Structure 1
């Protein structure tokens, strides 16, 4: 019972932490430090670049120690220090230093949680169900941040971030205490499940590239929705928020359903289903003409991203033997996908078709991404836990 409460609670709190900070960060930079639009752009680029490095380095170090909870606790402390630093500093350069030195490694906390779950014996279905709580946090987090800003100003986000950091520290400390108690009682740890897939290092890179393309399509949807809704469909901007909100809300039950379906279906079969549903979604978005159609097709978007978020993470943990590196590598496919999405959005704005052209490009990216994953896994074979050490994730 304790584990059933601690793990979901930890997932929800880590999700809330970043769902409150990330959507508010650009506004904080402008309101608190007077950043110009150009400065906001390069600060976010530097911050995300540092996060990319941290997402590989910190989990890899945790892999060597075989302990993911102690670094998680460190991430909670760093988040608390980040909130204090952003409250105290008054210049943009110092804020950038705080974001790089404190914020980048602090952002690895949720990846470490999934690495810990894998090391404790969780398979893809269990990971997918826990991932649903992170998605739920992203449904609640941005409105919570908006409520705080509207009621008490932009600076109010920072005490909320500090409170979440403390709660994350407490739940992680409880997980550490539980682990130590079990070790003292002589209860053996479960270890990673025996479901590894033997894929070459080149195959892992191909899988990662495939997921970069899949993630870029999803990132494009988020980036282009407001422009598409207002300029192509001639609707009020509120409809873009409704559409994205419906997709985010439907993602939670989709992930829970995947947690059940995943017990009977292979990861590859689910990723292929993402291709079919995702391509259909993007084609429908290119021809949708009104608010009813716009909102309705978001249910397809929810299923497509649920497969990427849940099954994708589980798949990375199976093809890369080290849980921390697997989770960090997966997290970085989303960051790189965001980079790729920029030119896709720009292409849509430059064509006579309008921003609907971006969705057609996304349909192609989705199909190509799944094709790459399928090619990488085509010759792969199930491997024992002992054999997994010599797969791409091994030394």
Structure 2
């Protein structure tokens, strides 16, 4: 299924110019606060009628200014989850979940008990929203949207109102939605950590305009994204597979460029994972280092160097996967770094910390 968006709209003195496509998976609308992300989502939902342009979900035209066509929100079969859960306070969790089904004429995506198990809310059915934590309320809101049997989901900064503990709690459930439902999901966020873990496609929005879009790993490793991510959040994604749980308590994962070792992962061998490797946690060596404590060293080739106020951002090709390294200008000059040069990327331990691993959890106790 594919969402196609191409429209222009004016709100006061602001103009929105959106042109992108969102396939199955999570398409993240990413940008600073006030960039226009929520306005784009509202146009897709039918809460706003664009002045010019067209929005379509596969062969269903949602809005077309040339033909004067505008499908009202209740006929779009789109599930919308806001920053705040917006549950009915007088209804139980079970009644909130079933509310959307009363208005749906489409066949179910999955049985209700399967959805509640997926979201980990089966034990909450008789509670009312006031008795739920923030993370539980958001999971119930997700369940209600899914049980309306939508053709796609719109998630408008669903974690923005939660503290870090609740965000950590709910992220694995969002990963399950991405991997198990087979729906296009439009996800609004200005959190680099969230989109690095969840997104399959990224649409960069700045001052009301879509200025770039593409596959998530490629976008996040593009040095041009650095001003929007911030120096400490600039990095890349490695797609790896859990290959072995080794006797010393470490887990070996296989990347395109070679093996990496992490703290023990509580997942079956063969599980695909996404590692977020921060640019500040990647050192560059001309020769493979010997007699050092770092276990994770990958051969790579320099593809690009970009100067900025924080030094030099070096883009690397590691067996076909992109990596970023942030170093000083003095180091770049001393090593005579240039595109095409073969080097080794030395990954510091922090680069594979628990918060940067998608679709996985650490073992309950650290390895001895």
User: TM-score scaled by structure 2?
Assistant: 0.26
The structure whose residues are more often helix, as a share, is 1
Higher relative contact order (CA 8 A, sep 6+): 1
User: TM-score scaled by structure 1?
Assistant: 0.24
The structure whose residues are more often strand, as a share, is 2
**Larger Rg, first or second structure (1 or 2):** 2
